[in-house]
Each structure stands twice: as C-alpha cells, then as structure tokens.
Homo-oligomer: A and B are copies of this chain.
Amino acid sequence: MFSRLFAAPVEVSAHCDLPCGVYDPAQARLEAESIKAIIAKVADNDDADFRVRATIIKEQRSELVKHHLWVLWTDYFKAPHFEKYPQLHTLFNEATKLAGATGTKGEFDAAKADELLAKIAEIDTIFWETKKAA
C-alpha cells in the first residue's frame, strides 16, 4: 500500500482544513481495529486491572474513531457528494454512534466492533470512488 501511494501522489487532492488535502479513512479504521483487538484481549484475560486499562484505552480509541470520521464528514465531503450519495449523512451518523455509548464505548462486544468496521468500510468505498472521480 505504501509504495502505491508513493507512486501516485497526484491522487492526493485538496480538501482539508488548511486545506492540505490529505485524507484517508484508514485513520478511523486503524483505531477501530485496535478496539476490536482490545475486546478480543479482554475476552482472553480475566484480570480486573487489565479490564480497567482496556476500558480506558477503548474509550480513547472510540473517541479517535469518532474524530477521524467527523473530519471526513465535515472537511472532505462536499455538497455534490451528499447529493450523489444520499445515504452518506446517515452512514456517518450511524458509524459515529457505533463508536459511542451505544456502541464500542459502552460494551466489550466484538459484534459492535465488526459493525463499526463494516460502516467504515462502506465509507471507505465511497471515499475512494469520489477520489477517483475528482
């Protein structure tokens, strides 16, 4: 993946908050994968202190997922994208909720982490479609 991006720097266009134009749903995905891994670790470890640490870190990683997704929703996606993909608002709203109290923050539930990763994958697909179209 690394070499692909290095070989194709032109695919980085300008939509960020400087704007600098570098976005990638991989940032949200990596944090969501971390959450999934944390949940698996806790399932294999019944030490009480470990569970507390896992809760602290899961809280932080979930917040990072939300932040990275919010940045994409506000800073990268524009009005024409929302017209072309009418499901996009709901997709982002549901994805960020899945990283909150009713999702990965609130529970140690691998299914919630999988749902969150699936939503991020949907966003990722649309994101790269719009990059190609740009």
Contact with B along A3-25 (1 / 0, CB 8 A): 01110010010101111111011
Within 8 Å by CB of A121, from B6, B37, B41, lies B6
The reply to whether B34 and A16 contact each other, CB–CB distance below 8 Å, is: yes
Interface residues of A in 15-51 (CB under 8 A from B): 16-22, 24-27, 29-30, 33-34, 36-38, 41, 49, 51
Within 8 Å by CB of A90, from B57, B66, B82, lies B82
Number of interface residues of A (CB under 8 A): 60
Interface residues of A in 86-134 (CB under 8 A from B): 89-90, 93, 96-97, 100-101, 105-108, 117, 121, 124-125, 128
Which residues does chain B contribute within 8 Å of A34, judged by CB atoms? Answer: 16, 20, 22
Given contacts A55-B56, A56-B56, A93-B89, contact A33 B18 (CB under 8 A): no
